Chains A and B, each alone.
Chain A
Amino acid sequence: MAEKTQATAPGAEIDAVEARDLYRRMRLIRTFEDTVQQQFQKGNVHGTTHLYSGQEASGVGVCSMLREGDKVAGTYRGHGHSIALGVDPQKLMDEMLGRVTGACGGRAGSMNVVDVASGLIGCFGIVGGSIGAATGAALAEKLRGTGNVAVAFFGDGTSNQAYFHESLNWAQVEKLPVVFVCENNLYMEFTPIEDVTAGAIGSRPQAMGIDYRQVDGNDVFAVREAAGEAIEHARSGAGPAFLETMTYRFVGHSRSDPGKYRKPGEMDEWKKRDPLILGRRALEERYGIEAERLDEIDAEVAKQLEEIVERGLAAPFPDPGSDGKEFK
């Protein structure tokens, strides 16, 4: 079920098969999120959700440049990070549905998924948690001399958290192999990021002398190239790298968000640059992959999600009688 994207680092060049896999994975995330939304409305997904729709190229581009042994820390908007890294979408959906077959047996839910086998050290429900955790994971990789890197995904709003400033500083002082990926979707929750942020986010890592690059976060190929450079920098022992992926979310911050804060016409403009549209165009132009083939992928993924939901809804809930009894 899990389609682990093969790493090609440090070069970002890939063949048509791999390029198609990138598109499939982005489509998988989009359809997964649409499905979570539907199941939420049906009452099968509980609590709240923060969907990754619109930001797929960022997570998929970065994770496609990682290698076995690298670690990733995601956020409460973490379904995309998880799938991009290769977490089994069946296990992820089962977790959303609160089933015992979920990635964390139904104990975690949408915001806190851990999948050790995939290298996902966690998705963190508190803004900034991913940054601190990945910095610590990188400390372990450095002291163990593994050559692995740790990646922290986080949003633009996180640049105003203590975690951000403290961890960037410490990582640079200790020259830790960590890549900070700021997914800048222009809004911290409901508020335009520039209304609550002094100066440019990128000026902050640069003030600490941290390797910094900004990239079009909706172009998966551009993300791959920039991520490859950032990861290589961190892996070489030169210290942390900071990658700012400029993107946009097509859905509310969370399920309760009416989205009234968006500027008129802004969503329409960004939808023209949907990572899936850009991805299709690039596959057609660069690899000569026909639109019909991409439609087939879309249909295959849609069917995959239908089957996933069917199996998930048939899976048992965890038994409260046995849960937590061995907590130590």
Chain B
Amino acid sequence: MAQANDQGTIEYRVAVREAIGDEMERDPSVVFFGEDVAIAGGVFAVTPGLHERFGERVIDTPISELAMSAGAFGAAVNGLRPIFEIMFADFLLLSMDSLVNQAAKYWYVSNEQGSCPLVVRSAMGAGGNFGAMHSQSPVPWLQGVPGLKVVAPATAGDAYALLRAAIRDDNPVAFLEHKRLYSVKDPVSPVDTLPLGEAAVVREGTDVTLVSISKGVRDCLRAADELAEKGVSAEVVDLRSLRPLDTETVLRSVAKTNRVVMVEEGPLIGGWAANLLGIVAAEGLHDLDDAWLIACPETPIPYSPTLEDAFLPNEGRIVGEVSSRLGLAAEIATGA
């Protein structure tokens, strides 16, 4: 179990580090490699100390994302459990052939002769003015690949338990860490692992269901606090995994609240939220009084702080849209 600080909380980046360290301690077949991860400890300071603890099992690689993902594949089908880090999720594109055509297909195409237990960790997300090529959240690109699990934890505690589960999983997992979450502190996980593919109702409510992943869940929770002051009871569902996708938990929540809004940091077209809303509509239309999406404009992610702030969903927009759709618009306009 992860070590808490004096306040009983743990920083997100430390939770990730401890999950890797605890699994490497438990299982000698776990190895970890990536650019600048060993000696330097990672550009987001997630992995300092691991190389000192585990020696040659923690490796600095060249800037070769494709060789890294294929190297992880070859090692995974040959007795190791590699974790590799793609520094920015935008760089995942360079590693995609091996991830999609090799790792994700191996168990099925080999007719289940063998497994491919690898984890690719990557820092995604905007909000830091990194510009169009260092800010994307490539969730739908990965989610559309059968055979590749996709996990995007919202809290430090979940990051710890889900990463340990991902490392133990016998097939490939993409583990996406929002770079705006690395410095947040949350209660330590009470458990060593959480099952992949299970969503969590992280706040109970009766009027509307807010669904999101990763940093978006925290935006939804803050929005729910504000909505509560307006008399709106919002339920918040943290999907945690995008594949397998726990549609049951979402449908159960919608059956209770009859309204759903999905919040995605990414374009509306081709996004995970639109896809999930389609499934909810197909299977739970009779429970729906209202449903909509909050997502980003259909442009690359802009750099300038004013542009990027306007581009991203946030709790203010969630509160505004929920209030408006629930008929509280006048209240907002008058500040009542």
Interface status of B64 (Cβ within 8 A of chain A): yes
Q: Which chain A residues lie closer than 8 Å to B78 at the CB level? A: 71, 121, 136-137, 140-141, 150
Q: Which chain B residues lie closer than 8 Å to A104 at the CB level? A: 109-111, 113
Q: How far does the Cβ of B232 sit from chain A's closest Cβ, in whole Å? A: 39
Interface status of A294 (Cβ within 8 A of chain B): no
Find residues 134-186 in chain A having any chain B CB closer than 8 Å to their own CB: 134-141, 143-144, 150, 162-163, 166-167, 169-170, 173-174
In chain A, what residue has the closest Cβ to B94?
A162
Most chain A Cβ neighbours within 10 Å, of B71, B72, B111:
B71
Interface status of B62 (Cβ within 8 A of chain A): yes
In chain A, what residue has the closest Cβ to B115?
A328
The CA of A117 and the CA of B111, in the complex, are separated in Å by 13
**Chain B contact residues: over half helix, strand or loop, or mixed?**
helix
Instruction: Please tell me which stretch of A3-11, A107-115, A214-222 contacts chain B, meaning at least 4 of its Cβ atoms lie within 8 angstroms of it.
Output: A107-115
Interface status of A288 (Cβ within 8 A of chain B): no
Total contacting residues, chain A, CB less than 8 A: 43
B77 touching A122, Cβ below 8 Å: yes
In chain A, what residue has the closest Cβ to B31?
A143
Total contacting residues, chain B, CB less than 8 A: 41
Find residues 21-64 in chain A having any chain B CB closer than 8 Å to their own CB: none
Q: Which chain B residues lie closer than 8 Å to A239 at the CB level? A: none
List the 9 closest A-B pairs by CB distance, nearest first: A136-B74, A132-B70, A166-B67, A166-B64, A105-B111, A114-B110, A136-B71, A140-B78, A137-B74
In chain B, what residue has the closest Cβ to A161?
B66
Q: List 24 A-B contacts (CB under 8 A).
A: A71-B78, A104-B109, A104-B110, A105-B111, A108-B111, A114-B111, A125-B101, A131-B70, A133-B98, A136-B73, A136-B75, A139-B71, A139-B74, A139-B80, A140-B79, A143-B56, A144-B80, A150-B78, A163-B97, A166-B66, A166-B67, A170-B62, A170-B68, A174-B59
The CA of A150 and the CA of B77, in the complex, are separated in Å by 12
Which residues does B use to contact A, with CB under 8 Å? 31, 56-57, 59, 61-62, 64, 66-80, 82, 94, 97-98, 101-102, 105-111, 113-114, 146-147, 170-171
Interface status of A129 (Cβ within 8 A of chain B): yes
Most chain B Cβ neighbours within 10 Å, of A125, A126, A135, A143:
A143
When the two chains form the complex, which single residue of B57, B62, B107 contacts A166, counting CB atoms closer than 8 Å?
B62
